[in-house]
Amino acid sequence: MKSYKKELWFNYPKRRGYTNITRELKKCLTESEIKEGLMLCNAMHITASVFINDDESGLHSDFEKWLEKLAPEKPHSQYAHNGYEDNADAHMKRQIMGREVVVAITNAAFDLGPWVQVFYGEFDGKRDKRVLVKIIGE
Amino acid sequence: MKSYKKELWFNYPKRRGYTNITRELKKCLTESEIKEGLMLCNAMHITASVFINDDESGLHSDFEKWLEKLAPEKPHSQYAHNGYEDNADAHMKRQIMGREVVVAITNAAFDLGPWVQVFYGEFDGKRDKRVLVKIIGE
Amino acid sequence: MKSYKKELWFNYPKRRGYTNITRELKKCLTESEIKEGLMLCNAMHITASVFINDDESGLHSDFEKWLEKLAPEKPHSQYAHNGYEDNADAHMKRQIMGREVVVAITNAAFDLGPWVQVFYGEFDGKRDKRVLVKIIGE
């Protein structure tokens, strides 16, 4: 069994937003030289997400509006978590969008379907954060 | 390490609904001849889901009502994504229900608990779509 | 390839709540003697969750309030599932919080980021329930 690990760093300039990381993940796969196996890609922080969806700016603004409806940021005082913090909403948004994706690898390529793109989702940005990439296989 | 891959095809006759795929996954496991390892099962499309829950028709109608409350389909015009498309709600419903499940394999069987069933969840049907099954192990 | 499996038992004294299981998972990893690989940890029941977030009591009370807003328990009669059961809301809460986490293992340790803790989330407690831990690697 072979294994590969890499950490990708982000410092998103706004509180919330989405970064397409599919191309970087493909580079990781090439570097790993693994042809059959599984890739785990997860946010290493609890106010961020890694998820798979569409790279379409209209949808991303819909997500922003929708997550603000389901778990509004403000007023900060509505959440017990927000004493020293102001990011309780970010912890909730990350539960809806998810922490991780697992992607299959066959013949040295990801098994992705149509329009599938992998995103880093930031819900409490303007600071250094990491995504973990771990690949195991042969 | 052994690995196995299969794509299951669906053409759900309505916009939304759930298909129990547990039996097909068990066939895949038998075909794979893998006795110890992990199975990844994921929707290959971004408006569909693979998830684990109960095979109970009342619950499925509750899910339909609930997802329509959290991410209503109509009016289509409420979503920026819906220019050429009308399926923004399907992208959201899939985030709540999830893209994938990973299931452990021990002694050539899935480690499933009571009432556990695996479902394909369709949120934008009436077209050909696929689910990926990838098994790695020994 | 090495593999390891363990079931952790819970009997949560209330209907809903969260238990930090990070320490028990680290014991499993030590027992497994696996240095490179992946751990799958999932609820074996469909009204419970395994998820990663913050071990902060304010946040946990925010989660309780939030999940009750998105998928309220009562009135029980609002759900078609609640004939012999009264736990339809628990099936929904588990979809939002998720069934499973997959955690990378490097140099015999979990690749966890800052503040990352793994939780068992109970949404229909006062009964025996299990969490599965499966580790594969080398």
CA–CA dist A78, A124 (Å, integer): 17
C40 forms beta bridges with: C102, C134
Interface with C, mutate which of B2, B49, B62, B96 (most C CBs under 10 A): B62
Question: Which chains sit next to C, with 3 or more Cβ pairs under 8 A?
Answer: A, B
Q: What is the 3-state secondary structure (H, E, C) of C65-99?
A: HHHHHHCCCCCHHHCCCCCCCCCHHHHHHHHHHCC
Residue C62: list chain A partners with CB under 8 A. Answer: 79-81, 88, 91-92
Interface with B, mutate which of A36, A95, A110 (most B CBs under 10 A): A36
Structure tokens at C83: 């004939």
CA–CA dist A42, C102 (Å, integer): 9
Closest partner residue to A81 (CB to CB) among C56, C106, C111 is C56
Residue C31 CA neighbour count, 13 Å, CB half? 13
Residues of chain B where predicted confidence (pLDDT) is lower than 50: none
CA–CA dist A107, C28 (Å, integer): 33
The predicted-structure confidence for C78-94, as pLDDT tens digits, reads as follows: 999 999 999 999 999 99
% chain C with pLDDT above 90: 99
Residue C100: list chain B partners with CB under 8 A. Answer: 101-102
Token pair 């399926």 is at which residue?
B87
Helix, strand, or coil (residue B1): coil
Confidence of residue C97 (pLDDT cuts 50, 70, 90): very high
CA–CA dist A72, A64 (Å, integer): 10
Report CB contact under 8 Å: B111, C132: yes
Give the per-residue pLDDT at A48: 98
Do B105 and B36 form a contact (C-beta atoms < 8 A)?
yes
Residue of B nearest to A57 (CA): B81
Residue C97: list chain A partners with CB under 8 A. Answer: 95
The predicted-structure confidence for A57-77, as pLDDT tens digits, reads as follows: 999 999 999 999 999 999 999
**Could you check whether the bond before residue C75 is cis, i.e. omega within 30 degrees of 0?**
yes
Do A102 and A38 form a contact (C-beta atoms < 8 A)?
yes
Q: Which amino acid is at C117?
A: Q
Report CB contact under 8 Å: A96, C96: yes
Residue C130: list chain B partners with CB under 8 A. Answer: 113
Give the per-residue pLDDT at A112: 96
B135 forms beta bridges with: B4, B39
Using a CB–CB cutoff of 8 Å, tell me whether C62 touches chain A. yes
**What is the crossing angle of helices A88-97 and C88-97, to 10°?**
100
Which residues in chain C (69-88) have CB-CB distances under 8 A to chain A? Answer: 70
Find the farthest-apart pair of alpha carbons in chain C and give their distance in angstroms, rounded: 51
The predicted-structure confidence for C19-52, as pLDDT tens digits, reads as follows: 999 999 999 999 999 999 999 999 999 999 999 9
CA proximity to A4, closest of C99, B122, B64, C137: C137
How many angstroms from the chain centroid is the CA of residue A22? 11
Between the alpha carbon of residue B15 and those of residues A48, A67, B20, B53, the distances in Å are 31, 23, 17, 20
Using a CB–CB cutoff of 8 Å, tell me whether C100 touches chain A. no
Phi and psi (nearest 5°) for B25? -65, -35
Q: What predicted TM-score, i.e. pTM, was given to this entire model? A: 0.98
Confidence of residue A113 (pLDDT cuts 50, 70, 90): very high
Report CB contact under 8 Å: B102, C3: no
Region C1-24: mean pLDDT is 98
Mean of the per-residue pLDDT values of chain C: 98
Give the per-residue pLDDT at A57: 97
Report CB contact under 8 Å: A5, C63: no
Using a CB–CB cutoff of 8 Å, tell me whether A97 touches chain C. no
Using a CB–CB cutoff of 8 Å, tell me whether C53 touches chain A. yes
Give the per-residue pLDDT at C38: 98
Do A123 and A12 form a contact (C-beta atoms < 8 A)?
no
Confidence of residue A131 (pLDDT cuts 50, 70, 90): very high
ipTM over 0.90: yes
Structure tokens at B115: 């009432």
Report CB contact under 8 Å: A80, C97: no
The predicted-structure confidence for A32-49, as pLDDT tens digits, reads as follows: 999 999 999 999 999 999
